[in-house]
Structure 1
């Protein structure tokens, strides 16, 4: 939480994906109670909200979801997967998948720096191709747990119809490399 400056924001879409995942496992009451920790009203997908609030929501959701997923880390990965799953289910996500095409991770992840910058107001992301079926996304100045991004990136691969793996190389408290192979 200390890494998150007051000015750091996250789009409501990411919050709402976590609320939806909690609802799937624990019902409306638990989801509404979690949302009430940051707002009395529903959050709008494309409005920006405090990243500190999101971290609070994420860790509370992980606490609730850990029994279903086996650990807090796995629950955080599931929240990341839910965030991208909600995106791929949206009209914008379906359009993006159509433009990118199925089975083209290089094309998808080359756009990751731009996609992330439209979703959060902090950090930098860099794309580097490491081989025919391998690439690296480098995140710097990012306060989300690496498990969140790992789950998100795994779900993004699945969203375009690819099987693969994400290796995380931590570079500090707010920096990590995500090596993606398929």
Structure 2
């Protein structure tokens, strides 16, 4: 499922005043655009949304982040082949930036003991609640190497979350898959499996 501009308007309609996203997510997407398309392209995406570069732990309007994702995925599509792949790359950039941060490094040290991704995924609801002010997430273990995450009232496209949720597997050097499905706009399910 791609993220066309009409989907953007539907997602914006779901937002409430006060829905926010941390600056780290903005910075990660802008950094990806800068790396792939150059500084000018990143500046063209940032300028209409904010006067200066985002600060990682400041909160910014979710509406602006949705716009950034829509336009970044459109700009990055030629680099990644499809808009869906570009959205996943944005998600991977977000989680990669998070795991590079002091907070992310601490979380990895505390939860990745023994290389078990389940410990990282069990913290996903709390991690998401520090990154965004909206929605609810629920973790369910489905076996030794399989978990489900349920998202309710979430604003982002499934593909962005697929990219984000691959991050813990990458961080603990595990092969696996993340399959997301949108039940309805704003409600999604993710099945994560690994070897």
What's the TM-score once normalised by structure 1's chain length? Answer: 0.97
> Which aligned runs of 4 or more in structure 1 are off by greater than 6 angstroms?
none
Aligned residues: 182
* 1:144-155 aligned within 5 A: 144-155=156-167
In structure 1, how many angstroms separate the alpha carbons of the residues matched to 2:181 and 2:29? 25
Match of 1:163 in 2: 175
Helix, strand or coil for the counterpart of 2:94? helix
Aligned with 2:147 (options 135, 146, 149) = 135
Where do 5+ consecutive residues of structure 1 fail to align? none
Higher alpha-carbon deviation: 68-77 or 162-171: 162-171
The answer to whether 1:180 aligns with 2:188 is: no
Match of 2:128 in 1: 116
In structure 1, how many angstroms separate the alpha carbons of the residues matched to 2:179 and 2:128? 19
Residues 76-101 of structure 1: CA distance to partner in whole angstroms, max 9, x if unpaired? Answer: 01000000000111222122211222
What's the TM-score once normalised by structure 2's chain length? Answer: 0.90
Helix, strand or coil for the counterpart of 2:155? coil
Helix, strand or coil for the counterpart of 1:2? helix
Helix, strand or coil for the counterpart of 1:15? helix
The answer (yes or no) to whether the contact 1:10–1:121 under 8 Å persists in 2 is yes
In structure 1, how many angstroms separate the alpha carbons of the residues matched to 2:128 and 2:105? 17
Once the two structures are TM-superposed, the CA of residue 169 in structure 1 deviates from its matched residue by: 2.6
The answer (yes or no) to whether the contact 1:84–1:155 under 8 Å persists in 2 is yes
